[in-house]
Amino acid sequence: MLRFDLLTLFPDMFVGPFHESIIDRAQSKKLIEIKLHNLRDYTHDVHRTVDDTPFGGGPGMVLKPEPLFEAISSLNSNKTKVIALTPTGEKLSQLMVRELAKESHLVLVCGRYEGFDERFLTEAVDLEVSIGDFVVSGGELPAMIMVDAISRQVAGVLGSAESLEEESFNDLGLLEYPQYTRPAVFDNQHVPEVLLSGNHERIRMWRQYKSLKRTIERRPDLLPDINKSKTDLDVLAQRMSVEDLNESM
């Protein structure tokens, strides 16, 4: 079982997302365990103070080191990996998600205000993570995303292992190909004939082509060599039938 401990100033934010759908079922099956901890519970003054003004001046408040260190000390074991959610961290990726899913105990610490006292980050944190090049109000939403993404990699959480393997970013870092379902014709728009053909090799090649083409167009940053990828796309096009290629344009 993979255990998540989440340290936050707003534990009620997690109640809805963690009691719905896949995450709720994973907890019921005891594939994952999620515990919420309020950072204010690790303070010792009457006001339950968790922040203070920054040395050197400047706007906002900084999370104090004392409650953070005390909280981590109470949750830590020799198998614990402590992760701080902060805009200055390493950008979350599918590769990171897969690696973190191999851990047995993750502590996610949600940043707030102007961030953490640097001494906490350097002495108590194993990994700093950002979910992207933008700013949100705190680390709670990024923590939800991390728990969801990591949990999906745990054996048994998804109903089908094939679903996990075919998702975007899992197949050589490519975006997922287009998906269709019934009816075959809707509002005079037809599902590509190749998907109705029953020819698994044609379908596999069509999906590979569409996946690579979509990645080149939308997320070329995911490709280590864009020129090679364009060449690979041309090679795939040469191997496909005229009908399948026309449907792919």
pLDDT of residue 170: 58
The domain boundary residue, chosen from 113, 131, 159: 159
For 38, phi then psi, to 5°, come to -85, 125
Residue 105 CA to residue 240 CA, distance in Å, equals 47
Report yes or no: 13 and 140 within 8 Å, Cβ to Cβ: yes
CATH number at residue 223: 1.10.1270.20
pLDDT of residue 113: 92
pLDDT of residue 161: 63
Angle at 157 between CA 153 and CA 158, to 5 degrees: 85
pLDDT of residue 244: 87
Report yes or no: 218 and 169 within 8 Å, Cβ to Cβ: no
DSSP 8-state assignment for residue 49: -
Pairing of strands 105-110, 2-8: parallel
pLDDT of residue 169: 60
pTM of the model: 0.85
Give the chain's domain count.
2
Same structural domain, 192 and 154 = no
Domain region containing 73: 2-159
pLDDT of residue 246: 83
Q: What are the tokens at 48?
A: 């339950």
